[in-house]
Chains A and B, each alone.
Chain A
């Protein structure tokens, strides 16, 4: 399902070079092309669309500020996904606190003044998955989100996570094992 969202490397290289030269329109085009995949990665890692939307905004902001430092425009995708994954990871602490509050309150109290998410979805499952995802280690969350859900190749995930493909395989395995226990009742 992600194939439709994938972008030609030459196109993205051109857009990155233009952005580095200060073309804001080119960066807007990058946002348009990558916002869905960025959201997908963030949602996978945070388990909540509102949290993910915030992480994505921060991620694009960081990418915009640092795009001039990207030496190889053809490697934009890995570079950008790393930013998104790291931003989502750094937001996990805040997300954890909010998730715990929701849990204590026994309902979904996370109504924000501004939210890009229009409608509530499968609350119980959503919250269970969010809690489970937040219990994974940072590396496990990244690995399962990028490899298991975003369907990136193991090598690409290794490049994003800056580790070996074998390490990715291990983190995915560990993540799946933990999730299997944490989400047992939903897997039956």
Chain B
């Protein structure tokens, strides 16, 4: 009895599987038939011509794009070169110099050089301090020096003897190795 039931069950599964396969095939056949019928209506020469025309247009725009790209590259190169020159000139002519004190509180002096004139902004005054001089740009050096600071924040009325200059003097032999003499690296900054 169990054997008969088992056989019936197997038969049922087989029928279901073959039924599913048939359905799958039916679907595939339907889609395939649809594709075939639609493709039967295609004018291949016309499609080919349409594709070729599209590619010809692409070829033409490709050529003009390449031409424009070359012009753009040259223009970009010129612009970059000009920018580099401009930045180099700016760095050389307007080099900020920072002086950091080694004293407590690390007061800061910002020194700006430009075309023979100079100005010094003193954020915190401190007399006769050992300082690190950091020259910006191409002349960048770090050295210890003696520094005499004139405090510009002091009011003229209160202090008539307001000094008009500052000296930042490099100690030897800090800059001797690059052949620049000590005198050349001293700064006399007019306030």
By a CB distance below 8 angstroms, the chain A residues around B50 are 53, 57, 114, 116
B116 beta carbon closer than 8 Å to chain A: no
CB <8 Å contact, A48 and B38 = yes
A11 beta carbon closer than 8 Å to chain B: no
Complex interface bits, A78-122 against B, C-beta within 8 A gives 1, otherwise 0: 000000000000000000000000000000000000101111111
By a CB distance below 8 angstroms, the chain B residues around A40 are 35, 39
CB <8 Å contact, A176 and B42 = no
Number of B interface residues in the complex (CB < 8 A): 29
A161 beta carbon closer than 8 Å to chain B: no
By a CB distance below 8 angstroms, the chain B residues around A56 are 47, 51
Cα A125 to Cα B33 in complex, Å, equals: 10
CB <8 Å contact, A44 and B30 = no
With A39-B42, A187-B26 as contacts: A116 and B37 at CB distance below 8 Å = no
User: Given contacts A36-B44, A121-B41, could you give 14 more A-B pairs where the C-beta distance is less than 8 Å?
Assistant: A24-B59, A31-B48, A39-B42, A44-B35, A53-B42, A53-B47, A57-B51, A64-B58, A116-B47, A118-B43, A119-B41, A121-B38, A179-B27, A187-B26
By a CB distance below 8 angstroms, the chain B residues around A48 are 38
For B36, the closest partner residue in chain A by CB is: A1
By a CB distance below 8 angstroms, the chain A residues around B186 are none
B124 beta carbon closer than 8 Å to chain A: no
A160 beta carbon closer than 8 Å to chain B: no
By a CB distance below 8 angstroms, the chain A residues around B59 are 24
* Candidates A117, A121, A144; contact of B31 at CB < 8 Å: A144
CB <8 Å contact, A36 and B39 = yes
By a CB distance below 8 angstroms, the chain B residues around A176 are 23-24, 27-28
Complex interface bits, B8-30 against A, C-beta within 8 A gives 1, otherwise 0: 00000000000000011011101
By a CB distance below 8 angstroms, the chain B residues around A125 are 30, 34
CB <8 Å contact, A183 and B39 = no
For B50, the closest partner residue in chain A by CB is: A57
By a CB distance below 8 angstroms, the chain A residues around B32 are 149
B110 to chain A, nearest CB (A): 54
Cα A39 to Cα B34 in complex, Å, equals: 13
